[in-house]
A and B are shown apart, each in its own frame.
Chain A
Amino acid sequence: MNHPTAWPTTWRRPPMFVANPTLRFGGWFLFAAYLAWSVDSLNIDWTRVAQGLPRAGDMLNRMFPPDISRWDLLVRGVVESVEMAVAATFIGMILAVPLGLCGAANLAPRPVYLAARTLIVLSRTFHEVIIAIFFVKVFGFGPLAGLLTLIVASVSFISKMIAEDIENMNMGQIEAVRATGASFPKLLIYAVQPQILPRYLGVCIYRLDANLRHSTVVGIVGAGGIGMTLSATFKRYDYDFSLTILLAIMALVFLGEFFSNWIRGRLR
């Protein structure tokens, strides 16, 4: 028995993305050039960075053991954060409905659609902390600014989801209800609402979880909640209390995520 040709005895893994070697190596070259340029242009103070490791060690030293003597401050901050998140989610989920309807291309007239989408994009672009600082300037320090920030963030997120769901829904049901001579509000209640409600509730619960995370950070610019306490401890080098707050935030976010997953699992 003679084989016609010798089989290859070694195998080389083919490249995963770009088959053309010139393009692949060119890509690597560009990547290296970008790295060099960006690191060079950032003016990093390497001597200060080199002190980082001992400083981190020192910080860890000061963090342990976590300080729980000021638990009343901690509880007050956490409760305020939770309340901001709950209230903002509730108000946001109500306000998001009309905006979501306006942002759906298949329901709203063109100018309304464009206006609603612009509003959604504008408020989604800016980070919560930027929005928070403006509310702090207008309404002063405190949870009101944080509440309004989270409301803006919730409305833009939930209404975008509503608009997309409406655009993707089954138009047959709309036609069927319309054929009975139903008015526009009846159309919304009997044809649109049953199709989007389960996902809408899911999105709202998800947003509650997201608001809980963000409520811990808007305080850094003075908009209430546990973040205000946390940033104060960092300013005073109270690292042992910082660690307590960080652990509390981790527990809070973990519980929030657990709760959100549980409810969304039941909704499905």
Chain B
Amino acid sequence: MTAADMANRYPEVWHRFDVRQTVVHWLWFAGIVFVAGWSVRHLDITWIYFLDAHVQVGDLLSRMYPPAWGHTGKIMTPLIETVHIATLGTIVTFVISIPIAFMSARNVTPNAATWFVGRFILVASRSINTVVWALIFVAIFGPGVMAGIWAITMRSIGFMGKLIAEAIEEIDEGTVEAIEATGASRMKVLLVGVLPQVLPVIYGTTVYRWDINIRESTVLGFVGAGGIGIELYSSINLFNWQQVAVMLIAIFAVVVVSEFVSAITRRRIT
């Protein structure tokens, strides 16, 4: 090995990337900055609003203090309603999403058409936000909790269905074959061979989705679909910031508690 080879192999200064890699990295970086910068410029933002933003925020916070604790009793009913919407929505989802998950899992779906329909339902459900679903169901059922429950359900079907379907696709086929070898019917195979294998995933995703749904159901009231959001929205529009503060604290408490409950339950199941 010549001295020049040695110098090439063991350079004095170590570089992690060669020149070409460095150039490619910088080009990527420049491209991202360009797209982001162009997006911000094109949004037509009135930057002048930023000048007094800190004053506005400070003003808002000072109006919130002290929180109107007397209001606590009045928000208990809508708060419980919020939890009910999330829970009932999750229960309905649990019932609906399991058959849809079986339809959309490649290894147990009856045929290509059912697979396609299942997948389409999952994609449609997931791409529309809960609040948008709420808009639709308020138009159908009128304002109230019924619209909220269905909005939660429609959005959650896609979430749970997708995760359960993925779990079904990863099951141990040996168990299924063993059940089939006993001459069991198709229904029995699904019930005894497939379902027990994915049951922990089903319960886990249900509890997980429940705690997401609690968070989602706090804003359903903004479009009239029940829960604490109705009171929150009207207090905000009436500039009753001290009441708003109480509700924010209450929402924070409920969400944190539900997240905690959900985490503990999931740790026990899986």
Contact = CB atoms under 8 A, between A and B. Distances in A.
Interface string B186-204: 0000011000100100010
Interface string A216-242: 110011001001001100100001000
A220 B53 contact: no
B139 A86 contact: no
Contacts of B203: 17
Interface in B188-240: 191-192, 196, 199, 203, 215-216, 218-219, 222-223, 226, 232-233, 236
Contacts, number: 157
Interface stretch (B65-73, B79-87, B99-107): B79-87
Nearest to A136: B236
A109 interface: no
Interface of A is mostly: helix
Interface residues of A, number: 65
A41 B35 CA distance: 51
A234 B135 contact: yes
A130 to B, nearest CB: 6
B129 to A, nearest CB: 4
A199 B146 CA distance: 41
B131 A220 contact: yes
A80 B39 CA distance: 8
Classify chain B: how many residues form its interface, as a range.
35 or more
B134 to A, nearest CB: 9
B46 A144 contact: yes
A143 B223 contact: no
A230 B135 contact: yes
A108 B127 CA distance: 38
A35 B87 CA distance: 9
A117 interface: no
Interface of A: 13, 16-17, 34-35, 38-39, 41-45, 48-49, 51-52, 55-56, 59, 79-80, 82-84, 86-87, 89-91, 121-122, 125-127, 129-130, 133-134, 137-140, 142-144, 147, 194, 213-214, 216-217, 220-221, 224, 227, 230-231, 234, 239, 246, 249-250, 252-254
